[in-house]
Amino acid sequence: MSDGEPGPAALPPAGERSVPAQSALGAAAREGREETTAQGDRRLIAALLARGERDLADGNVAMARQSFLRAADAGMARAALLLARTYDAHEFARLGVQGMQGNTRLARIWYQRARELGAIEAGPLLRRLGVED
């Protein structure tokens, strides 16, 4: 052996290495994956919201709803609010939606979810539907 390097007997065999060290490495790897996954999830959710907004602007309400639903299910308040608006007959003129009927029950459900997720603007929209705080 060269100067200062441990010989083969200095390191325990792989099966005898400390479990806490292996656990710590595994935990660090999991945390890194979770952080990367969380960042990827945030980007995906933002992309879903953007796609829904483009579809809605193009008048494709059905496609917009699908994107908003996925983003809202992931916890995005704005997506829940926009999804509710696609069911709210009061919002159809503002959104330029024609040839569709509103669904007050679904609008109420998604406005309530948006409020739970932190969208304060959902409160007045719920009151307009007759839902009291």
Say if pTM beats, i.e. exceeds, 0.75: no
Per-residue pLDDT of the chain (133 residues; tens, 9 = 90+): 445 544 444 444 444 444 444 555 555 555 555 555 577 788 999 999 999 999 999 989 999 999 999 999 999 999 999 999 999 999 988 887 788 889 999 999 999 999 999 999 999 999 999 887 6
Query: Using H for helix, E for strand and C for coil, what is the string for 42-70?
Result: HHHHHHHHHHHHHHHHCCCHHHHHHHHHH
Give residue limits of the domains in the chain. Answer: 16-128
Count CB-CB contacts under 10 A for residue 85.
Answer: 23
Q: How far apart, in whole angstroms, are the C-alpha atoms of residue 82 and residue 71?
A: 10
Name the CATH topology of 16-128.
Answer: 1.25.40
